[in-house]
């Protein structure tokens, strides 16, 4: 039996954090999936881990849920150390992975009762807990149907229900709405908000900007295995002054268009060029738009469209990484996208 973790220097601060990760590193051979990731998640909140495909979000969740050992770094989850007290961590967390873990040959209620029994609940306790959760998940009317006949949204709700059977302190949701249509996604958001309203800590990984903006009280933006920004969505966006201007050109922009625009348009800042797309920030977008169009016209650059908007999480990501979020997401070009070697997989399973 591992000895309990020593009390932290600042016990009050530690109790306020459901997750406290410091300097997490994960290597698969020569591939470094996490590069010194720090993460502090307040208790009783929805915390978003936002990043494109391959940023290191799922690797982080595997480490925090004791499914993988970090190469370096430390973390506590629900007050227990992931390295010294993995069994304690597992009793205090619930996990909903990207792949459904339900048995499709069982009914919804049977899946939940089975999970309760695995956690040591009596048959009566598991049945009562399952019925209460099925009611909450709006599945009471379908509890005796075999899960094979459930829709995608219903299966995700059953996944969450099974993860809640032992009343965990922290719930990990790894990309829970991927593949769901917008209406079902909105229903899932309401369900997650309700869990946080009851005081549960929810760590949500997502590559949907809107999902992070709508759900997370606080979020960390992950890029290439590191947290590059952390704070509330409103606070992160407030760091960007003025408006965002995005110009789509008919043809790819020449290399010198960035300097040309910066020199001609008053107050234009953070000009970036990517193929046919030109992005910039300016204090007053409506005033600057005619100047931008005129500057491009003088260089015989045809404009397909131009938009002006208030700061978004996409702008925040661009500021901290130099790349547009959707481009990074499509590329999935982080080191974590490289499959681990057989040796690394064997090491992780030990």
How do residues 87-109 score in pLDDT, each as one tens digit? 999 999 999 998 888 999 999 99
At 201-257, the pLDDT tens digits run 999 999 889 999 999 999 999 999 999 999 999 999 988 878 888 899 999 888 778
- What's the pLDDT at 328? 78
Residue 315, pLDDT score: 86
Q: Is the pLDDT of residue 194 over 90?
A: yes
* CATH architecture of the domain with residue range 11-236: 3-Layer(aba) Sandwich (3.40)
* pLDDT exceeds 90 at position 193: yes
The CATH number of 241-310 is 3.30.70.1560
Q: pTM of the prediction?
A: 0.78
* pLDDT recorded at residue 27: 95
pLDDT digits (tens, 9 = 90+) for 132-161: 999 999 999 999 999 999 999 999 999 999
Q: Where are the domains of the chain?
A: 11-236, 241-310
**H, E, C per residue of the chain:** CCCCCCCCCCHHHHHCEEEEEEEEEEEECCEEEEEEEEEEEECCCEEEEECCCCCCHHHHHHHHCCCCCCCEEEEEECCEECCCCHHHHHHHEEEECCCCCCCCCCEHHHHHHHHHHHCCCCHHHHHHHHHHHHHHCCCHHHCCCEHHHCCHHHHHHHHHHHHCCCCCCEEEEECCCCCCCHHHHHHHHHHHHHHHHCCCEEEEEECCHHHHHHHCCEEEEEECCEEEEEECHHHHHHCCCCEEEEEEECCCCCCCHHHHHHHHCCCCEEEEEECCEEEEEECCHHHHHHHHHHHHHHCCCCEEEEEEECCCHHHHHHHHHCCCHHHHHHHCCCHHHCCCCHHHHHHHHC
């Amino acid at each position: 039996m591992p000895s309990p973790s020593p009390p932290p220097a600042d016990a009050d601060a530690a109790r306020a954090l459901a997750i406290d990760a410091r300097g997490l590193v994960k290597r698969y051979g020569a591939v470094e999936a996490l590069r010194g990731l720090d993460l502090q998640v307040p208790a009783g909140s929805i915390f978003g881990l936002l990043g494109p495909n391959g940023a290191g979000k799922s690797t982080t969740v595997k480490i925090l849920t004791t499914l993988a050992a970090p190469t370096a770094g430390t973390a506590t989850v629900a007050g227990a150390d992931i390295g010294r007290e993995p069994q304690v961590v597992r009793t205090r967390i619930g996990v909903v992975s990207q792949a459904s873990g339900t048995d499709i040959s069982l009914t919804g209620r049977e899946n939940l009762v089975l999970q309760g029994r695995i956690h040591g609940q009596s048959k009566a306790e598991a049945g009562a807990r399952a019925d209460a959760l099925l009611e909450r998940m709006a599945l009471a009317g379908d509890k005796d149907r075999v899960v094979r006949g459930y829709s995608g949204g219903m299966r995700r709700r059953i996944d969450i229900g099974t993860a809640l059977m032992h009343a965990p302190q922290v719930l990990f949701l790894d990309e829970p709405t991927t593949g769901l249509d917008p209406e079902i996604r909105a229903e899932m958001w309401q369900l997650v908000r309700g869990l946080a309203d009851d005081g549960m800590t929810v760590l949500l990984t997502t590559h949907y900007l809107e999902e992070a903006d709508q759900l997370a009280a606080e979020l960390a933006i992950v890029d290439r295995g590191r947290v590059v920004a952390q704070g509330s969505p409103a606070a992160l966006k407030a760091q960007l002054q003025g408006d965002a201007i995005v110009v789509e050109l008919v043809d790819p922009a020449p290399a010198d268009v960035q300097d040309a625009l910066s020199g001609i348009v008053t107050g234009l800042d953070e000009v970036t060029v990517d193929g046919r797309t030109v992005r910039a920030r300016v204090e007053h977008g409506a005033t600057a738009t005619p100047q931008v169009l005129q500057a491009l016209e003088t260089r015989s650059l045809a404009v397909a469209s131009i938009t002006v908007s208030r700061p978004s999480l996409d702008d925040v990501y661009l500021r901290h990484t130099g790349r547009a979020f959707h481009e990074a997401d499509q590329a999935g070009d982080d080191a974590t996208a490289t499959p681990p070697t057989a040796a690394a997989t064997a090491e992780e399973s030990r």
